[in-house]
A and B are shown apart, each in its own frame.
Chain A
Amino acid sequence: MSQRVLDGTVARYCLALGDDALVLSQRLCQWAADAPAIEEDVALMNIALDLIGQARSFLSYAGVREGCGRTEDDLAYLRDERDFRNVQLVELANGDFATTMTRQLLFSAYQYELYEGLSRSSDEEIAAVAAKAFKEVSYHRDHAATWVVRLGDGTDESHGRTVAGIHAAWPYTAELFEPLDFDAALVGLVEARIAVDPASLHEPWLGYVTSVLTKATVEVPSTTWAPAGGRRGLHTEGFGYLLAEMQHLHRSFPGATW
């Protein structure tokens, strides 16, 4: 792989990692001032802020490796829907609190395994960001698991909502572990030990998620429907609205600051 191709490929990989964090952060922010308790409001916003920090690191680095002079802001605010590389799981609507927490559990458990692997990346920048982010997502995963166990093993009402939340999100988890073979150069990154093979994360992820769901008295869904395409720029209907809300200020008033 020539240096120029390598740079472009690393940029695309980091774009996907950054977009996952950015989009989930934007979704979580919709809970601001609307969480079940003020304590939980702060907890959710802390998680969203951690994710923004991860997004900034990965998007900035993607801009550097891309070499076209695009900043983190350019990448976050001036790309259109089809240019975003996040998985569809992170763009799913928040739904009720149980739905948000089950989505968080499934995604944070994935990020936990992912960053653990990436902290040994042969790319030093990626390894450093992942090592720092690993500590953050360890807490996100723990926080989500704490709630899923309580809601799942709680009242009939909370149990029902947790089951509904798991069923809504579960099909979208398949995409997390899809091979990167839609982009041959990305497969090369895995071989160069810069990127992590997504398929290798599935087993530890499933082990952890199963242990939490078992404690929560919630069955692991056995659905086979597996929507995908986020990594290739195909997104769900709600994603355009999310982007519009996130981007409109910057697009209406370019460079606005306060």
Chain B
Amino acid sequence: MDMEREQDTKPQYSIGEVAAKTGVSRRTVRYYVQRTLIDPPVGRGRGSGYTEQHVEQILCVLRLQREGLGLEAIQQLPQQALTSAHSAAVQHPPTVVFRVPLIPGVRLELDAGLRPPGPAVVDALAEACAKILESHKEAG
């Protein structure tokens, strides 16, 4: 077993330590395990505990929650997607997928996030923004 894999299977942290490292409560660590959002602790009985991978997973769930995803939705994402989404989020800034010119010099940009909005939403948003700009133009 190489060093990295050993680190993943050997308990490194107690529930209190993993909670402190991620800034959530002990109850939330347990809650995430119960909801299968993160893997169960490794080992059994007194020897069980958490690893660096658990820390990564918790940070990932927290980020996805901040992005606006509910726990049910996160739960449905494949585990691999969770980890890669986390790594991608850390390494790359958010990508802009929609760019709609409104009036000269002003455009609407939408961050894809993890759930890109449909074209109808983008159209509606652009229309609303255009109206606001128009009304200000008139008032001005």
Say whether A and B bind each other: no
Which residues of A come within 8 Å of B, CB atoms? none
